[in-house]
Amino acid sequence: MDSEEPDYSSLPLKQRILHKNWKCRLTAYEEIQKLIDQDDSKEIQIISEPELLRKIVTDSNVVAQEAGVAALCKFIQFVDPSLSLRTRDVVVPSLIEKTLASTRAGTKSKSIEALELYVELEDPEPVVNHILPFLQNRLPKLVAGSVEALVTIYQDFGAVTVSPKLVFPSIPKLFSHADKNVRAQVSSLSLVLYQWIGDAFKDIIFSELKPIQQKDLTKAFESLESTKPVQKRFLRSQQANQESENDVSMTEPDIEPVSDSSAKIDAYDLMEPQNILSLLPSDLDSRASSAKWKDRVEVLEEVQKVVAVPRMASGDYTRLVRILGKSLKDANVQVVQLTATILFLLAKGLRGEFEQYLSLVLTPLLERTKEKKPTVLVSLCDALNACFESSSLSAVMEETVLQMANKTPQVKVETTKFLIRCLKNSKTAPSPQHIDLLIPVALKLVNDSQAPVRNAGFEVVGTLMKIVGPRPLNEFMDKIDDRKRKNIMEFCETAEVSITETKKKQTTIPSSTTRATDRRPKPSLGPTTKCSPVPSKRGPSSPLKRAPSSKQSPPSRRAIPSVASRTNGLTNRSLTTARSISRVPDTNVSSAERLELENLRKEKKQWEQEKEKYEWRQQEHQTERVTLMKEINNLQEKTKELLNEETDKTVIIKSKDTQIDRLQHDLDLARERIRDLENEYKTEGNGRVNTFKSDAALPADPPGRFSPTLSDGVDRLSLDHAISEHKENLYGTDYSKLLDSSDESWRRAAEVTFQLKARIEKMKARSKYSRV
């Protein structure tokens, strides 16, 4: 006998949600959907608790869980967004973990729908960040379901609304996953992202993929070249903007609503900035200023490898840019080409931050365009284009116009071509001050004797005319002949410029007079005020001659028609200038209004004069600023040169001081050695005298015989000197006694002489050893 199902409808809603019977919970989830449709605020407050909703989407029964996820979708879609946002951080992780790996297709699809509804609320980034941790889960089904949810989000909302930068680090890892379903889903994600960001996906991801994976993706990308992605779902804020644009388009049918679905994504914003300053060579200054050109080329090649990154982190690049600005003046063309390439990479990697270093390199780049080697010239032009793209037209205008007056013809031509490229690619028109600065230089170019210079002048004037129109250049065009004017007009007709704001303003914005008359109430034209093609006879213009009419009431201020409308009724012509308006007699305008009008005209004239003064002051300040910047750069260069010279001189002085110290030390050692030799010589001299006295009984040396100097001592060491002294001693005695002496005396004298010679030889040998 079948037991009857109990009736759970009598239980409170919260108790049924927490009931252990899945059928009871199922009825509660179904009732939640009905309550949301009925907008029962009391019950909605009960189920808006984050923990209660998390328990609903994590129901253990798959049937009840599917009904619970459906109830969550209705809750997010129709309940107050503030309540839904309060539950996002609690519900979304549990929803991903318990439903994206479900075997029931309905549960999985409704879970992805709930995630997209959470994305719609405010910001898609928190939802994507909740999905990313599950891409590393151990369950392949959960990983594949998470990637599928990302595919759906990016496919519906687009990479403009949801930044693809969040998922880039996970894509290469998912391509190496062991499960084929995961690899298939990540391939689908790659195709969706490629549709939105194009080749930037290859630049970011392909370096971390295997060659076979790159080949397969490239083949799949080729089939998507012709398809353009369209954003299918929008955030709540975007939906509100679209509604306001639709309201405006209904009131003004000529204005088309703008959609963000076709907006281009800049790959630069998707790149991670890299710090390159710490990777530069530590000896960059010394090697960049080396006397050997190979050393300079070698260090620049190292710098080129370091700066070859798509995006650079913010920092102080002044030192590097100064070195590069100095290298642009190098005599070696290979150094110049490498420097231009590095500047190109720096400008591309820093973009807007490079503008602050523009004054250090723009003038050297323009002056170096005198090079005739094509490869070097191409590198210089690329660097100049990158400098303009990272700055603005006003930032490069003054320096470029100054270099257009250079003495070298090729510098004139290349500088003018660079300015033409800037004018064509600029999104803003040049200011009147810059136009006034350019016109005199352009007049010299179009009258130059060389054809390439003239053609460049024709083109720059024609491009400028395409942007600002012919009126600002009328004074210039009057100074040239018809033939040159024809050439300028040809370039003006064929020039393709990026700026379109000026033309739109000229065609859509009415004149000040028209706007003033449009704001005034237009009088109704009855049969008496109907305009006739034949002008009627004018009545008296003076108020005294005009007879008062009893039928007409005194004109009130609100009923007075505008001057333009009255004149149109009288003459059937439109008044477009303030001068023509002032000629019309204001018969119905009171004296107070006239006085107020005159005061307003005076104030306007004063404002225009003050505006003109301010513009001239601004122009003078800009010119003075450019001059001061040049002086600062020159002073900095001179200061650097003086510091280098001072360093070199300091090194030379230190080396000289070291040499002097060494020579002084050698001199002291020599003096000590001389003193020792003198003392030794004195000692040996005294010993020799004593020997002579004892052995030979020779007469004593006369006083002053031994000189204290070393030269005298050396002379006395010689054998000849000793023999001569001995002879003098012999001859100084009584020679008659010696003749009478016996043979024994001669024998003894010979022995003494022999001994003396031996001692002299020993003394000479000893003195030689001591010198060595």
Between CA 404 and CA 412 the distance in angstroms is: 5
**Residue 302: predicted pLDDT:** 94
Between CA 101 and CA 142 the distance in angstroms is: 5
Contact predicate 539/533, CB 8 Å: no
Q: Letter for the amino acid at 282? A: S
Least confident residue range of 18-32, 178-192, 453-467, 668-682: 668-682
Question: Can you name the CATH fold of 275-391?
Answer: Leucine-rich Repeat Variant (1.25.10)
To 5 degrees, how large is the angle CA 100–CA 103–CA 104? 90
Copy the structure tokens of residue 578. Answer: 């303030």
CA distances 506 to 41, 217, 474, 502, Å, are: 55, 49, 18, 6
Least confident residue range of 359-373, 538-552, 697-711: 538-552
CA distances 715 to 33, 81, 710, 725, Å, are: 132, 119, 9, 12
**Which range is most confident: 39-48, 348-357, 509-518, 551-560?**
348-357
Between CA 60 and CA 67 the distance in angstroms is: 12
Residue 259 has pLDDT above 80, yes or no: no
Check residues 663 and 579 and name the one with the higher pLDDT: 663
Between CA 419 and CA 735 the distance in angstroms is: 118
**Residue 7: predicted pLDDT:** 75
Between CA 55 and CA 65 the distance in angstroms is: 10
Contact predicate 57/72, CB 8 Å: yes
Contact predicate 206/214, CB 8 Å: yes
Between CA 256 and CA 280 the distance in angstroms is: 51
CB-neighbour burial class of residue 348 (10 A; exposed 0-12, middle 13-18, buried 19+): buried
**Residue 184: predicted pLDDT:** 94
Residues 599-650 have pLDDT tens digits of: 888 889 888 888 888 888 888 888 888 888 888 988 988 888 898 888 888 8
- Which region holds residue 572: left if phi is over 0, alpha if psi is between -120 and 50, else beta? left
When pLDDT is cut at 50, 70 and 90, the band that residue 553 belongs to is very low
CA-wise closest residue to 377 among 359, 389, 361, 365: 365
To 5 degrees, how large is the angle CA 732–CA 733–CA 739? 125
**Residue 1: predicted pLDDT:** 37
Query: Would you give the DSSP letter of residue 254?
Result: T
Query: Would you give the DSSP letter of residue 274?
Result: B
Q: Does domain 123-224 have CATH number 1.25.10.10?
A: yes
Residue 246 has pLDDT above 80, yes or no: no
- Strand-pair partners of 312: 274
Residue 507 has pLDDT above 80, yes or no: no
When pLDDT is cut at 50, 70 and 90, the band that residue 244 belongs to is confident
Query: What value does the mean pLDDT take over residues 171-182?
Result: 94
Residue found by looking up tokens 């942007």 in the block: 467
Residue 543 has pLDDT above 50, yes or no: no
Residues 48-70 have pLDDT tens digits of: 899 999 999 999 999 999 999 99
When pLDDT is cut at 50, 70 and 90, the band that residue 90 belongs to is very high
Check residues 312 and 11 and name the one with the higher pLDDT: 312
Copy the structure tokens of residue 713. Answer: 């001592």
Residues near 230 by beta carbon (within 8 Å), at least 6 away in sequence: 158, 261
Residue 689 has pLDDT above 80, yes or no: no
**Residue 478: predicted pLDDT:** 86
**pLDDT over 90 for what percent of the chain?**
46
Between CA 73 and CA 25 the distance in angstroms is: 17
**Residue 742: predicted pLDDT:** 53
Q: Letter for the amino acid at 503? A: K
Q: What's the mean per-residue pLDDT of the chain? A: 80
Contact predicate 347/383, CB 8 Å: yes
To 5 degrees, how large is the angle CA 36–CA 39–CA 40? 95
CA-wise closest residue to 383 among 426, 425, 337, 422: 337
Question: What number of other Cβ atoms are within 10 A of residue 767's Cβ?
Answer: 17
**Residue 342: predicted pLDDT:** 95
Query: What value does the mean pLDDT take over residues 184-203?
Result: 91
3-state secondary structure of 445: helix
- The DSSP line for 643-655 is HHHHHHHHHHHHH
Superfamily of domain 1-36+47-117: Leucine-rich Repeat Variant (1.25.10.10)
Residues 137-163 have pLDDT tens digits of: 999 999 999 999 999 999 999 998 999
How far, in whole angstroms, is CA 674 from its chain's centroid? 73
Predicted TM-score (pTM) of this structure = 0.56
Copy the structure tokens of residue 493. Answer: 């007709």
Least confident residue range of 104-118, 119-133, 349-363, 674-688: 674-688
Q: What is the CATH number of domain 393-508?
A: 1.25.10.10
Contact predicate 563/581, CB 8 Å: yes
Residues 374-386 have pLDDT tens digits of: 999 999 999 999 9
Copy the structure tokens of residue 344. Answer: 């190109």
Secondary structure string (H, E, C) spanning 455-468: HHHHHHHHHHHHHH
Alpha helices in 447-500 (DSSP H): 451-468, 474-477, 482-494
Domains 123-224 and 275-391 share a fold: yes
Structural domain spans, the chain: 1-36+47-117, 123-224, 275-391, 393-508, 608-771
215-247 burial code (b ≥16 CB/10 A, e <16) = eebeeebeeeeeeebebebbbeebeebeeeeee
Between CA 297 and CA 497 the distance in angstroms is: 39
To 5 degrees, how large is the angle CA 736–CA 741–CA 742? 155
Residue 593 has pLDDT above 90, yes or no: no
Residue 763 has pLDDT above 70, yes or no: yes
Between CA 404 and CA 2 the distance in angstroms is: 101
Residues 387-423 have pLDDT tens digits of: 999 999 999 999 999 999 999 999 999 999 999 999 9
Size (the chain), residues: 772
Contact predicate 149/122, CB 8 Å: no
Residue found by looking up tokens 């050997």 in the block: 292
Residue 538 has pLDDT above 80, yes or no: no
Q: Letter for the amino acid at 318? A: T
Copy the structure tokens of residue 48. Answer: 């808006």
- Which region holds residue 242: left if phi is over 0, alpha if psi is between -120 and 50, else beta? alpha
Query: What value does the mean pLDDT take over residues 477-493?
Result: 90
Copy the structure tokens of residue 219. Answer: 């083949």
Residue 95 has pLDDT above 60, yes or no: yes
Query: What value does the mean pLDDT take over residues 705-719?
Result: 45
3-state secondary structure of 223: coil
Residues near 435 by beta carbon (within 8 Å), at least 6 away in sequence: 464, 468, 472
**pLDDT over 70 for what percent of the chain?**
77
